[in-house]
Amino acid sequence: MQSVSVVIPAYNPGPFLAEAVESAVLQVPPPLEVIVVDDGSTEPITVPEHPLVRVIRQGNVGPSAARNRGIREAHGDLIAFLDADDLWYPGKLAAQVALMRPEVGLCSCDFEAIQATGKRPGWGGHGGDYRQLLRGNSIHTSGAIARRSLLLEVGCFDDTLTHSEEWGTWLDIARRSELEHASGVFVGYRLHDQNASRDYRRMWRGAMKVLWRHRGIHALPGVRRVGQIYGSQAFDAFRATRRPSHLMWAFALWPGYVLRQTLRRIGTRAGAAPLS
């Protein structure tokens, strides 16, 4: 059976890290090891004591470099990634390892979002191919398990990127192998103010850098999709703050959406106006 190393990058993870580690250790069958890479935290971190858990400490160099350190230090055939503020549900590793045939380099799964008001459906997975993955990143990092040899072959994660770097790695793997997807919700993704994905500007810039490196006619749908994702986030930010800069970003990234929303609002107001 293929062995699995779990890599968890952690920088000031707060109270979530312990639950993340426990969700990995309690998988059946258990992983070979759980590697927590403390990426220069400025506050004490709480890591459950367990024979499978190993902590590596380093200066703060970012999550990509922290994941890369974990990959290099790992002993497993497969690497499963888990962010310090997320958690896995029972059966996650078993379902994915069963799909990691020799020709498969990466397997994803579905996730749900966890927020203060409760849980809501997320999305996930891919199970397609390189050209399909170019249309947009549908693989959540905490739901990804990849072959260690392939990760090393593609150079792991690009630590010059601070956002969307995982998409570039998934694309590099998809060029060399097949992708799989385990049906079912196996990951809880916590939503909070510190999520990197909330910074739509940096996410868009990172995604565009990834697409530039994979440029070609097949990347054009990805450019459009990236604009739609972060354009809608920019418009949501405008509605919440009324800051013109958010509206300018929204219009630049997805003008059709902004126009539709504006016309809908005008129509609603007109319909509610009293007859003269």
Instruction: Report residue 14 as tokens.
Output: 């707060």
Instruction: Report residue 72 as tokens.
Output: 């290099």
SS3 state of residue 156: coil
Q: Is 108 exposed, middle or buried (0-12, 13-18, 19+ CB in 10 A)?
A: buried
Task: Please tell me the predicted confidence (pLDDT) of residue 195.
Answer: 54
* DSSP type of residue 227: H
Q: Is 101 exposed, middle or buried (0-12, 13-18, 19+ CB in 10 A)?
A: exposed
How sure is the predictor about 197, in pLDDT bands with cuts at 50, 70 and 90?
low
Beta strand segments in 51-204, E: 53-58, 78-81, 87-88, 104-115, 118-124, 145-147, 178-190
Task: Please tell me the predicted confidence (pLDDT) of residue 28.
Answer: 96
Amino acid making up residue 43: E
Say which residues have a Cβ less than 8 Å from residue 168's Cβ, sequence separation at least 6.
157, 158, 161, 209, 210, 213, 214
Which of 88, 3, 11, 86 has the alpha carbon at shortest distance from 45?
Answer: 11
Q: What is the CA radius of gyration of the chain?
A: 20
As a whole number of angstroms, the distance between CA 6 and CA 42 comes to 23
Q: pLDDT over 90 for what percent of the chain?
A: 63
Query: For 169-183, what is each residue's pLDDT tens digit?
Result: 999 999 999 999 998
CB atoms within 10 A of CB 134: 24
Query: For 35-47, what is each residue's pLDDT tens digit?
Result: 999 999 999 998 9
Domain locations in the chain as residue ranges? 4-198, 223-271
Strands 4-10 and 33-39, by their bridges, are parallel
Q: Are 114 and 190 in contact, with CB atoms under 8 Å apart?
A: yes
CATH of domain 4-198: 3.90.550.10
Query: For 219-232, what is each residue's pLDDT tens digit?
Result: 888 888 888 888 89
Whether the model clears a pTM of 0.85, i.e. scores above it, the answer is yes
Place of tokens 């090393």: 152
Q: Which residue did the predictor score with more confidence, 127 or 5?
A: 5
SS3 state of residue 99: coil
Of 49-53, 160-164, 256-260, least confident by mean pLDDT is 160-164
* DSSP type of residue 171: H
Q: Are 122 and 189 in contact, with CB atoms under 8 Å apart?
A: yes
As a whole number of angstroms, the distance between CA 119 and CA 208 comes to 30
Q: Are 67 and 37 in contact, with CB atoms under 8 Å apart?
A: yes
Which of 51, 76, 79 has the alpha carbon at shortest distance from 66?
Answer: 79
Q: Which residue did the predictor score with more confidence, 19 or 268?
A: 19
Q: How far is CA 22 from CA 38, 94, 108, 144, 158, in A?
A: 17, 16, 21, 18, 28
Q: Is 10 exposed, middle or buried (0-12, 13-18, 19+ CB in 10 A)?
A: buried
Average pLDDT, the chain: 90
Whether the predicted pLDDT of 4 surpasses 90: yes
Q: Which residue did the predictor score with more confidence, 59 or 162?
A: 59
Instruction: Report residue 94 as tokens.
Output: 């078993």
Task: Please tell me the predicted confidence (pLDDT) of residue 49.
Answer: 92
Place of tokens 């024979």: 51
